[in-house]
Structure 1
């Protein structure tokens, strides 16, 4: 498989490094608006072709798959054109500026019979897979609420991340999208029906939110609290908690809590120890595999991206209007 990478920044380099570790895959071409940055990536990872135009890259018949590693404002156009040119695509998160764009991308992938996957590497955490397998077996009973938190004390990225026209939003779009996707996937990909959100930009003075707090209700009664922050006057808080009728879990540090049957008020808490994994590499390996076999239940698909973006759209709309918002 020959791969072309659009965007030679931080994530472009992560993708180049990961693709190089997979047998049978070659990073064949790269594009970036910064020619020096493009040249550096090409030299470091032995990429033979450098394109000044991303359009030329996606039209190259030698390329089988494209990785889109640019600001979200460009995801839809680049992805759709790559798909139309017969390429499989892995696109970085957040999927797009909104759900409408994400749907265009998903629809084009279906039309062209090509794989479209998004860069939600948290699904490939060993502890996430462990909890997912338990949930599929009914270990937790009915999971009726979840808490998804990604709160940084000092972690506001610079540059285009702070500009709404390129990023689409702030902390919610940048890091909240990870925990939303993971909690939603772990709880069974239920249909969201209502959202309530509050956006803050009190510490960063950016064009976008430095903190976002939200509540999402799903069609089976599941409720999810979402918290995302680039800046806060408290140490980092990163956790995904699931609460079921039989047991509960904290995913990021992997702790399982369950009631002991037959003993009133007795619980047992366990912390399974799992082998560590390079989640970026696992994500890229999964993408390569599914270009041959097709998506699996593990895959962050185009359809998944549409739902995740519907949640984010509704949270932002609720914050703007100051009222709960229904999700179609």
Structure 2
């Protein structure tokens, strides 16, 4: 069958879901809960995963591979597979004429990101990536404060994402498959949040140190890092500092923070009580603390729902996705490649 490429704004897009682990299933359930799509097909090599997903989407065709999925009558594909597969799978779907929403990272390097974006532009199909922290109410409020000039000129940004746990999949600790360790897994969100909030200014310099079990790693190491610290300088004079880690003894499940320091005040997003899901935001004027957002906030599936709704409205290629190349370029420089 050929892709349906539905342009009827009154009909929900027919989507195929590739990769039905926790993230893939969560994004599918979020789209269904918001009535943002029709789940036409689900695909995963694991029969157990397919059976679990079928409970949420009983009318979907259950398949085991991307090749089978691409034979279905679809408008788009949602990809939540290991990172090494993202580029190949995204390209295959775009060449088929399908819109794509992919888990982060879209690809392992800036070059791979550029190839996917070029394919989306050529196919004129909507391409999205699940940079989900942009969609927290906390970060939305902070970005608005920066854009509206409430902080004055932002001259420094401090970011951290420390995860007391680490990935339980072996591929995530193989640099050839994952593209790196905690920096590409967690740091990608930090780099994106800083650049997105500040309007994607030019990055002029990047320095970093990567560690595995306390030992500093050389560039191109066959080991992935479990601790990364980096600094990047922006053309507008702002300095951005970030740190991220897996399995760090930090006294709580996670520490996820983004602090923006400006000439007229500051603002910060912080996770609450070590939570991976609950975030608060506040502005600062000297010692004054002005709340901007507090939990609860059901933000996890917002990026996916937003993409599906834009697709339902007939959206084609959106050049805003091109900023992913800048984020990936910063990460390439963090890794010294």
Task: Say whether the fold is shared (TM-score over 0.5).
Answer: yes
CA deviation profile, 1:96-123 (whole Å, cap 9, x unmatched): 1101000011111111111111101101
Give 2:34's aligned residue: 22
C-alpha distance 18-100 of structure 1, shift in aligned 2 (>3 A): same
Please say if residues 18 and 80 of structure 2, whose CA atoms lie closer than 8 Å, have aligned partners that are also in contact: yes
Q: Find the partner of 2:87 among 43, 66, 76.
A: 76
Query: Aligned pair 1:237/2:264, yes or no?
Result: no
TM-score in terms of structure 2 length: 0.85
SS in 1 for 2:152: coil
Q: Find the partner of 1:254 among 264, 270, 281.
A: 281
Please say if residues 164 and 207 of structure 1, whose CA atoms lie closer than 8 Å, have aligned partners that are also in contact: yes
Q: What is the CA-CA distance between 1:19 and the residue it aligns to?
A: 1.7
Distance 1:89 1:258 in 2: 42
- How many pairs are equivalent? 307
Give 1:33's aligned residue: 45
Q: How does 1:115-154 map to 2 (within 5 A)?
A: 115-152=126-163, 154=164
Query: Aligned pair 1:214/2:230, yes or no?
Result: yes
Give 2:298's aligned residue: 278
Distance 2:239 2:314 in 1: 34
Q: How does 1:131-210 map to 2 (within 5 A)?
A: 131-152=142-163, 154-159=164-169, 160-202=171-213, 207-210=223-226
Please say if residues 18 and 281 of structure 1, whose CA atoms lie closer than 8 Å, have aligned partners that are also in contact: yes
CA deviation profile, 1:236-265 (whole Å, cap 9, x unmatched): 432100011111111233121125xxxxxx
Q: Find the partner of 2:69 among 57, 75, 96.
A: 57
Please say if residues 163 and 207 of structure 1, whose CA atoms lie closer than 8 Å, have aligned partners that are also in contact: yes
Q: Structure 1: state its 5+ residue gaps.
A: 260-266, 319-328
SS in 1 for 2:301: helix
Q: Structure 2: state its 5+ residue gaps.
A: 1-12, 271-279
Query: Aligned pair 1:313/2:332, yes or no?
Result: yes
State the superposition RMSD in angstroms.
2.3
Distance 1:30 1:113 in 2: 24
179-188 or 17-26, which deviates more: 17-26
CA deviation profile, 1:37-93 (whole Å, cap 9, x unmatched): 223222343252122220231342x21111110111111111111112121111101
Distance 1:254 1:99 in 2: 31
Distance 1:295 1:73 in 2: 26
SS in 1 for 2:70: helix
Give 1:263's aligned residue: none
C-alpha distance 295-256 of structure 1, shift in aligned 2 (>3 A): farther
Q: What is the CA-CA distance between 1:271 and the residue it aligns to?
A: 1.9
